[in-house]
Structure 1
Amino acid sequence: MTDVRDPELPGLLLRTERDALIPFLRKLPDEAFAVRTCCPGWTVRHVLAHCAAALTRVVEDRFEEGVFSPEANDRDIEERAGLANAEIVDELERGMTDAGPVIAKAADGRLDGIALGEWVHAGDVREALGEPGAYAGASLAPALDLLAAVTRARATPPLHADLDDLDEPVLLGAATGEHPPARYIGPASTLIRLYAARPLTGTRYDLAGVREAELALFG
């Protein structure tokens, strides 16, 4: 991992996840879209509608005041209430295809977190439906690279992560030199849960030198 931002990384993550997620979604029966997720009040359909709306906003450069607030997210979902599930998946596929170049051009990587958030939401959907690979899978490597970039940009506490499923440690957050990095030992998917503020029930990991709440990037 490097301290220099890779502008192509968000698009790579979105396209890699698209190729795995969209075929899976197209095979789902309609009742699966009504399953509740870990996002309070949101079903699978709500999560996908939110993701589709967010990427459409990126592609169309629509960032009015208050965008991505809870109220704005609910409005985006409500605006898609009349769409079939397949139409929401279509919009999501277009967004995951087209948003990468726009995010790449955004100054100082200000939109990079959107791509990471989309990937996390794909994990929310998989977990809700009992599918393997939630917060992991084929796109884990670019997701970890993007997590490193986003945590560095947002100056979260420095963290040295020894991951059970990777040979090399992952360095996250902003190394200011004021204190030694915190330490994490455990699965990569659980590390993602920590930063995404997702449920940790049933997980096992060691975390020292930082509180869980200090790592959370998303509510």
Structure 2
Amino acid sequence: MTAAADDVRDPSLPGRLLAVERDALIPLLRSRPDADFALPAAACPGWTVRDVLAHCSAALIRVVEGRFEKGVFSPESNDRDIADRAEWTHARVLDELERGMTEAGEVIAGRANGAWDAIAFGEWVHAGDVRDSLGESGAYTGAGRSDALSLLARVTRERGRPRLHADVDDVDAPLQLGARSGTRTPARFIGDSATLVRLYTGRAVDGASYELTGAAVEELNLYG
């Protein structure tokens, strides 16, 4: 997959990723019983599935409405967004999330140099968190995987993570992630794409079969 190694930004990619995930996730969530929204989100300690969804919907609506005050996306800001939606029905949270996943892509596309592209990737990761918590298949993979991996490559470069050559079982071509240059020998990953995403986002990889050499897991974590 050469797109993950390409420095040319595709401004439509974040919106495309959000739309693909919207079309799969929203119908799934609307079919789940109310009790499922109270399940703990293992990837987000202290949050429930509903809390993750409320955070996601709030973040995307901030993008749509251009509301980025100081401290936005801090733990305190995230908690306030969740609390602001505490009295909402599950359906209302999902309505807002669907709107955000529909409208945010165009706004993100218009930001110079892809400044908000990482928000779309984070939303896709949280969708994986929700799937994982619900015991659904497709966590950190699915129809949006190729676009998500392309965004992952870009974000790891921008955040200066170590160079890494990834031979991914379920992707046709090797991926090049992290810094473009440097004297350090590139690290190497062998495994599946979901495990690669988990490593880069600080999610548990218990029981996964993979190899990582030349870098510590802590060095990869984008959110650590």
TM-score over 0.5 for the pair: yes
Structure 1 position 180, deviation (Å): 2.5
Structure 1 position 179, deviation (Å): 2.1
Match of 2:100, SS state, is: helix
Counterpart position of 1:90: 95
- Spell out the pairing of 1:162-173 with structure 2 (5 A cutoff): 162-173=167-178
Match of 2:21, SS state, is: helix
Mind listing any 5+ residue stretches in structure 2 that lack a counterpart? Answer: none
Name the aligned partner's letter for residue 113 of structure 1.
A
TM-score by length of 2: 0.95
| Equivalent residue for 2:17, pick from 13, 16, 26 | 13
Q: Deviations over 1:155-192 (max 9, x none)?
A: 21111100111121111112113223110000100000
Aligned counterparts of 1:177 and 1:43: Cα–Cα separation in 2:
41
- Spell out the pairing of 1:101-180 with structure 2 (5 A cutoff): 101-180=106-185
Name the aligned partner's letter for residue 93 of structure 1.
E
| Equivalent residue for 2:28, pick from 24, 27, 39 | 24
Question: Is the CA contact 1:175–1:181 (under 8 Å) kept in the aligned structure 2?
Answer: no
**Is the counterpart of residue 99 in structure 1 residue 99 in structure 2?**
no
Aligned counterparts of 1:18 and 1:117: Cα–Cα separation in 2:
14
Aligned counterparts of 1:22 and 1:33: Cα–Cα separation in 2:
13
Count of aligned pairs between the two proteins: 219
Structure 1 position 108, deviation (Å): 1.9
Structure 1 position 132, deviation (Å): 0.6
Structure 1 position 19, deviation (Å): 0.7
Question: Is the CA contact 1:15–1:97 (under 8 Å) kept in the aligned structure 2?
Answer: yes
Please report the RMSD computed on the Cα atoms of aligned residues, expressed in angstroms.
Answer: 0.9
Aligned counterparts of 1:178 and 1:106: Cα–Cα separation in 2:
32
Structure 1 position 107, deviation (Å): 2.1
Match of 2:109, SS state, is: helix
- Percent identity at matched positions? 62
Mind listing any 5+ residue stretches in structure 1 that lack a counterpart? Answer: none
Identify the range of structure 1 (153-162 vs 50-59) with the bigger mean alpha-carbon deviation: 153-162
| Equivalent residue for 2:215, pick from 181, 186, 210 | 210
Match of 2:182, SS state, is: coil
